[in-house]
Amino acid sequence: MKNIPGFTLVELLVATMLTAFLGVSLVTIYSTANRHVFQNYRGNTIKSDVSLAMRAIRNVMAQANSIYEPASGNTGARLLVASNMDQMTNCRPSNLIVPKWHLFCTDTSGTNIRLFYHSGNIASTCWCPGPCAAPSIPVVTCSAGFQLAQFLDTTDVFSRSSTLSHVPSGDLMSLRVQLRSVWTPSGGYAAVQRPVDHRLTTIFSVSRSSAGN
């Protein structure tokens, strides 16, 4: 009978130690990679939340001719503007374009503070120079609109106040929009994740033929 040499005790101990070391290394690598992947994912989600919402507001403000909410000097949770509608006379500067109202509003009915967008046509056949009757804007449920952001930290993101924003006093054509999204880890995430905080602030101006309120 031929003797088959086996492992010595020292070799078994070394193999066990190497296996344990490899296992710990793999767990560490996985934990680190997993932490960074989810941190980057949440960071990108928060940044996109703010960036896409601000882009939507910018696109609307580029065609707006009048601001109805918030009122001059105030800050609020609603931004109501109109396109192809002169604010002083309520007439249509262009006969070829249908006047539209645009509403951005924040809502707290869910877990987070969310931003929604509504839009619709204004039933007006009164052409400039006017004056015309005030436009009729329907009453809408904020959360029934198109969701633009869902991680905002406050409801009052629209400001025409010279004391609370960089809008100059007496400037009735401009407003400031400040969107800030925050994610704070809690529970078991607090030990392995960092808070994510992203803010965008922009001052917009509308184009209209005469100043309004």
Quote the pTM value: 0.74
Q: What pairs with residue 66 in β-bridges?
A: 82
pLDDT tens string for the chain (213 positions)?
A: 556 565 566 666 666 776 766 666 665 655 555 555 555 767 777 888 889 999 999 999 998 988 889 988 889 999 999 988 887 788 888 878 888 999 999 999 877 899 999 999 987 667 787 777 777 788 899 999 999 988 898 999 999 887 766 777 777 788 999 999 887 766 555 555 677 888 899 989 887 654 333
DSSP-assigned states of every residue in the chain: -PPPP---HHHHHHHHHHHHHHHHHHHHHHHHHHHHHHHHHHHHHHHHHHHHHHHHHHHHHTTEEEEEESPTT-EESEEEEEES--TTT--BS-TTS--EEEEEEEE-SSSSEEEEEEEEE-----BTT---PPP------GGGSEEEEEEES-S--EE--TTTSSPPTT--SEEEEEEEEEE---GGGGGT---EEEEEEEEEE---SS---
Domain ranges of the chain: 9-205
